[in-house]
Amino acid sequence: MSYEIVYGKQFVKLRKTGEVIPMLLAGSNNCFEVGIGGRNGRRSRDWANQRFYLRKGKISDKPEAIMAKVDAELSRRIRDRYDKTDKPAGIRARFGYYAGIAVGGGHCSDTSWDKYRGVYANGIKNALTIEELDKLGVNLYFFDVGLSLGDRLPDTPASVTIKTERQFFEELRKWRGWQNGNGKGFWLGFSPRSTDMVLERLRAPKRKPATEKVRVDQDHYFVLTDGYNGLVKYTSRGYKYSSRSGGKRFRTEKDAEKYRQQLLKNNRYKADVWRVERIDCPTSFRV
């Protein structure tokens, strides 16, 4: 089964018109990048302007118009459901299965209607202006269909890195003039061309700065032991252990006991055999 995977979103706000440009990072589950040695790499993906939910194929639209067409999609899926025994509640719960869409990876059936609708609702809510994106090092640019295939059409306008809203409308007029109803197609994408780099720059401001840790030296530490071995960590097949003093180290007895209680609560394999023991040996922790 072929379906579309949505990996990320970043809508763009246009102050002049009060519209937004819906941009999604997405790709087919059946298309792969070329990996090492000619083998399949990861699934391919690109940033693209989603015109499906815009009136008459526009590049941007009013938020309320976009959401109205998104909501109409659910009504259409319920009306045209494949099996008339499918209930509306089931279609809402497994919307991705009926629409051929998976949000964030996984399977289509994992994508509910609320999850899919949230892509657009949250995209509109968190839209950034072209100038705000430029400060993050992310820019819009227009390109023709031939360019994406490695074969630029003659008389194609040059692709320009768009840094302001005014420049966006100037470029849009230029590309529409080039198209001029002759069946030529052009698209809107994000630069840099590396999809990972764009995503990284978009996410950077949302990340909390890493807490700076300091080194603390002490003459002892605590471990969990069964009397002979020290617990290192649990795995899917049981647990790993080391010498009595070589297990997972805890700075305080309280920390070790808290971890032991969590193992008991989660009913981990042989969790009841572990006891807290102090090891008198110099060590250090990053706290």
3-state SS record for 192-203: CCCHHHHHHHHH
Task: Check whether residue 152 and residue 184 sit in a common domain.
Answer: yes
- In this predicted structure, the answer to whether residue 276 has a pLDDT above a threshold of 80 is yes
Mean pLDDT is lowest, of 20-24, 37-41, 42-46, 145-149, for 145-149
Q: At 189, which amino acid appears?
A: G
Task: Check whether residue 117 and residue 239 sit in a common domain.
Answer: no
Task: Check whether residue 178 and residue 244 sit in a common domain.
Answer: no
Task: Check whether residue 258 and residue 171 sit in a common domain.
Answer: no
> Under a CB-based contact definition with an 8 Å cutoff, are residues 144 and 152 in contact?
yes
- Mean of per-residue pLDDT scores for the chain: 90
Task: Check whether residue 40 and residue 90 sit in a common domain.
Answer: yes
Average pLDDT score over residue span 17-39: 89
Within 10 A of 262 (CB to CB), how many other CB atoms are there?
11
Domain that holds residue 116: 1-207
180's CB contacts (< 8 A; 6+ apart) are none
Backbone torsions φ then ψ of 134, nearest 5 degrees: -60, -35
Give residue 116's Cα distance to chain centre. 13
Domain end point (choices 160, 184, 207): 207
Task: Check whether residue 90 and residue 175 sit in a common domain.
Answer: yes
Task: Check whether residue 259 and residue 131 sit in a common domain.
Answer: no
Q: Tell me how far apart the alpha carbons of residues 275 and 196 are, in angstroms, rounded to a whole number.
A: 46
* DSSP state, residue 252: S
Average pLDDT score over residue span 179-202: 87
pTM over 0.85: no
Long-range contacts of residues 37-42, Cβ cutoff 8 Å, at least 24 apart: none
| CA torsion through residues 110, 114, 120, 124, sign | negative
For residue 61, what are the β-bridge partners? 20
Give residue-wise pLDDT tens across range 62-102: 999 999 999 999 999 888 876 667 889 999 999 999 999 99
